[in-house]
Amino acid sequence: MKSRRSSRAVDTFVGQRLRQQREENNMSAEELAGALSLPVKKLEQIECGEESIGALSLYEAAQVVGVPVTFFFEGYNEEIMAEETVKVARSEKSVTSTGDTIK
């Protein structure tokens, strides 16, 4: 079962990739929202990771900005692995600095 946390991470990553490609295409949020038949506010929420984008809208967005749908997920696993490495390093530092013993 997918956790809410991992779902939010995917939404945020996909939203960032969508914004990146929109800006690379010199499109305003209003232009892309119009092309996707979405309110601008909804697109802004998607780009910030506050809302999920549906499969059809993601497919249409890929068509509009000229990338394959897979573009929005490229690098996702690497970013998550990097974040997890940082979390583990921080927790190890915390255990070391407090002098706690793990048995």
Contact 14, 50 (CB under 8 A): no
Q: Does the residue 19 lie in any domain?
A: yes
Tens digits of per-residue pLDDT, 80-92? 666 655 555 565 6
For the chain, the distance separating the N- and C-terminal CA atoms, rounded to the nearest angstrom, is: 30
For 1, the token pair is 């079962």
Q: Does the residue 27 lie in any domain?
A: yes
Running DSSP on this structure, what letter comes out for residue 3? -
Phi first, then psi, for residue 84 (nearest 5°) are -65, -40
CATH of the domain at 12: 1.10.260.40
In the chain, the number of structural domains is 1
Running DSSP on this structure, what letter comes out for residue 2? -
Q: Does the residue 9 lie in any domain?
A: yes
Q: Which domain holds residue 15?
A: 4-72
Q: Does the residue 47 lie in any domain?
A: yes
Tens digits of per-residue pLDDT, 4-63? 557 788 999 999 999 999 999 999 999 999 999 999 999 999 999 999 999 999 999 999
Q: Does the residue 61 lie in any domain?
A: yes
Contacts of 57 (CB under 8 A, 6+ apart): 36, 38
